[in-house]
Amino acid sequence: MGTLLISKIREEYPDRMMLTFSVFPSPKVSDTVVEPYNATLSVHQLVENADECMVLDNEALYDICFRTLKLTTPSFGDLNHLISATMSGVTCCLRFPGQLNSDLRKLAVNLIPFPRLHFFMVGFAPLTSRGSQQYRALSVPELTQQMWDAKNMM
């Protein structure tokens, strides 16, 4: 259903840039048998029709909730909180005024070396759980450490 929607949007608006956030399945989070098949079959449509694709791994999100955020039983709400914070962070340069503003076309030109290599691994910092304190003071080295830590890659 999602790939059909992407292909129809591409047909209707061929000159527009398309950014997708794709969550790939994991047996740790869900045991639905068809999830790996759906993900495998949808990659072709993402290669052909999306201009930029932010890839999120359900198992990595689960591990971030379990190890970094210290949640004993992460729920889909906790995983969705991480995804929504990441989506908000990635797209804030498109939504708010500022000197470092950009558009999707400029991001694609700067980040994509070859047209078919447009899949990005997302890292986000600071990581906070839904019920935790929203604002806390972190230094630049702490943020940089969190950002490039392999445990925080989604």
CATH superfamily to which 2-152 belongs: Tubulin/FtsZ, GTPase domain (3.40.50.1440)
pLDDT at 134: 65
Give the model's pLDDT for residue 45.
92
53, HSE (Cβ side, Cα atoms, 13 Å): 22
pLDDT of 106 reads 86
DSSP conformational letter for 125: S
Can you give the pTM of this predicted structure? 0.84
- Position 105: which residue type? R
In the chain, domain spans: 2-152
Residue 32 is predicted with a pLDDT of 84
Residue-level pLDDT at 91:
87
The pLDDT assigned to 68 comes to: 85
pLDDT of residue 54: 94
CA distance 17 to 39: 22
Per-residue DSSP letters for 10-53? HHH-TTS--EEEEEEP-TTT---TTHHHHHHHHHHHHHHH-SEE
- Backbone region of residue 19 per phi and psi (left: phi > 0; alpha: psi in -120 to 50; beta: other values): beta
Position 80 scores a pLDDT of: 93
Longest CA pairwise span in the chain (Å)? 47
Q: What is the pLDDT of residue 135?
A: 65
Residues 45, 6: contact at Cβ < 8 Å?
yes
User: Could you state, in chain order, the average pLDDT of each consecutive group of 10 residues for the chain (154 residues)?
Assistant: 90 94 87 87 92 93 89 90 91 81 83 90 83 73 86 85
Q: For the chain, report the end-to-end CA distance as a whole number of angstroms.
A: 24
Which tokens belong to 60? Answer: 């990595």
> For residue 12, what pLDDT is reported?
96
